[in-house]
């Protein structure tokens, strides 16, 4: 019953099974090695992307500061022009009142009244706009989010 061919066949099957198990083990090790390699590459790519993003942010910050400086200069020039325009308008109104009524005091009073009215309007709008500054709705939303 103990045939040498059956014994050899069983030994061959066992050897094939052992070889197959070793091959599967090697496949898993290869897969794990590839996963490690991919994760290292992914980490390197994220680091590179982070460096590029940092450089981009620095460049945009410099450009934004330059633009902000230029806008400030342009707004100063624009404001100067408006002041000159307003002064010219007050001068023209004052001259017109003086020409109509011949009174220097009346023309000064008219120009002063116009200036005070303009300043009152500017003050009212400044107060209105300053009340709009802030993050009240954002803070309320955050408080609700964190249940504070």
Least confident of 53-57, 88-92, 133-137: 133-137
User: What pLDDT is stored for residue 139 in this prediction?
Assistant: 75
Digit-coded pLDDT (tens) for 93-130: 999 999 999 999 999 999 999 999 999 999 999 989 88
User: What pLDDT is stored for residue 6 in this prediction?
Assistant: 57
Predicted TM-score (pTM) of the model is 0.56
User: What pLDDT is stored for residue 122 in this prediction?
Assistant: 94
Residue by residue, what is the 3-state secondary structure of the chain?
A: CCCHHHHHHHHHHHHHHHHHHHHHHHHHHHHHHHHHHHHHHHHHHHHHHHHHHHHHHHHHHHHHHHHHHHHHHHHHHHHHHHHHHHHHHHHHHHHHHHHHHCCHHHHHHHHHHHHHHHHHHHHHHHHHHHHCCCCHHHHHHHHHHHCC
Banded model confidence at residue 26, pLDDT cuts 50, 70, 90: confident
The share of the chain scoring above pLDDT 70, in percent, equals 82
pLDDT above 80 for 69: yes
pLDDT above 90 for 13: no
Mean pLDDT value across residues 25-51: 88
Provide the mean pLDDT of the chain.
86
């Amino acid at each position: 019953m103990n045939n040498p061919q059956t014994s050899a066949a069983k030994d061959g099957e066992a050897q094939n099974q052992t070889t197959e198990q070793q091959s599967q083990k090697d496949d898993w090790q290869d897969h794990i090695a590839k996963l490690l390699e991919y994760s290292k590459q992914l980490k390197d790519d994220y680091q590179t992307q982070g460096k590029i993003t940092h450089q981009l942010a620095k460049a945009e910050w410099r450009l934004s500061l330059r633009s902000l400086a230029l806008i400030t200069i342009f707004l100063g020039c624009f404001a100067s022009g408006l002041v000159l325009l307003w002064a010219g308008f007050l001068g023209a109104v004052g001259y017109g009142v003086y020409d109509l009524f011949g009174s220097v005091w009346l023309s000064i009073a008219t120009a002063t009244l116009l200036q005070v009215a303009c300043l009152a309007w500017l003050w009212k709008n400044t107060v209105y706009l300053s009340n709009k500054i802030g993050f009240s709705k954002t803070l309320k939303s955050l408080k609700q989010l964190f249940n504070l």
